[in-house]
Amino acid sequence: MLNNLKILFHQGKQFIPDVTTARVPGIFRGRPVISTEPVNEEELAELCPTGAIEVSPVSIDLGKCTFCGECARVFPMKVRFTRDYKLSTNIRERLIIREGEDHPVEVDSATVRKEIRQVLGKSLKLRQVSAAGDNSAEWEMNAANNVQFDMSRFGIEFVASPRHADGVVITGPISENMAEPLQICYDAIPEPKIVVVAGTDAISGGIFDGSPALKREFLSLYPADLYIPGNPPHPLTIINGLLDLTRKKG
Ligand code: SF4
């Protein structure tokens, strides 16, 4: 008994008590902040591998950004990445960070479909479809349910069958071969259901954008209820995004 207590004391808390205020240690690139410092904007945009940077004014699209950090490395006076991991939103436009702005990316409660909070606010089961994913975003989805992040304490879990799910989480750029399986999965989920796109590849195609191997019409037919940026997204980005989408604040 005493030994067990000693072990418990030694290990401390294995879970993050508050996932909404936790601090991310080590190297982490979260929400970028772009200063109004004049730079060679064309050169800045040119170095971005995914075309996430627009000029006049300078902006970064988090739906395209791979968070490689190259822009901040070459132009540190212009771009800096904060540790803010709350990047998820239901409005695609909100993923665009403009120069001179420094405010959080948030879910717009006013435009969240009513049934999402009414029906799915206390229990949300999700089927994850890796639509040509590279297993990085999928890995972080798994991590969101590990003992440390413990997303299931909020009633949010991944399930094996779409029949048991309230929504689909798409990772990967959606290849032609995965377009039909994704549709079959979506069709099998009962109403009301949500669509979540997680990771740069899923949101915009990422580095595969424009490839003839992709077939992304699904996202035009079924607009996303939540965008979770990151390459891959951090578990705290995933959990906070799902909580903000499904729960009323306060
Ligand atoms: S961090 Fe994002 S915006 Fe900057 S160069 Fe890399 S992909 Fe482009």
Residue 250 has pLDDT above 80, yes or no: no
User: Is 97 near ligand 1, meaning CB less than 6 Å away?
Assistant: no
Rounded distance from Cα 107 to ligand 1 centre (Å): 23
Burial of 135-167, coded b for 16+ CB within 10 Å and e otherwise, reads ebbbebbebbbeeebbbeebebebeeebeebbb
230 alpha carbon to ligand 1 midpoint, in Å?
A: 11
All domains in the chain, ordered by first residue: 32-98 (3.30.70.3270), 109-247 (3.40.50.12280)
**Do residues 201 and 172 lie in contact, with contact meaning Cβ atoms separated by under 8 Å?**
yes
Residue 47 has pLDDT above 70, yes or no: yes
Note the pLDDT tens digit of each residue in 189-227. Answer: 999 999 999 999 999 999 999 999 999 999 999 999 999
For residue 15, pLDDT over 70 is answered with yes
Ligand 1 centroid–CA 3 distance in Å is 50
pLDDT at 13 over 90: no
Query: Lowest mean pLDDT: which of 6-10, 148-152, 231-235?
Result: 6-10
Q: pLDDT, tens digit, for every residue of 167-179?
A: 999 999 999 999 9
pLDDT confidence of residue 249 = 66
pLDDT at residue 10, rounded to an integer: 81
> CA 186 to CA 170: how far, in whole Å?
10
User: What pLDDT, on the 0 to 100 scale, is given for residue 51?
Assistant: 97
In the reported structure, the alpha carbon of residue 246 is separated from the centroid of ligand 1 by a whole-number distance in angstroms of 30
* pLDDT for residue 3: 87
Nearest to 170 by CA among 135, 204, 131: 131
Please work out whether the CB of residue 71 comes within 6 Å of at least one atom of ligand 1: yes
Counting from 1 in the atom list of ligand 1, the atom nearest the Cα of 64 is 7
How far away, in angstroms, is 49 Cα from ligand 1 center?
7
For atom 5 of ligand 1, the residue with the nearest CA is 48
In terms of C-beta density within 10 A (0-12 exposed, 13-18 middle, 19 or more buried), how is residue 206 classed?
buried
In this prediction, residues 71-87 reach a mean pLDDT of 97
* 155 Cβ below 6 A of ligand 1: no
pTM of the model: 0.94
Give me the helix-helix angle, 235-246 and 136-144, nearest 10°.
Answer: 60
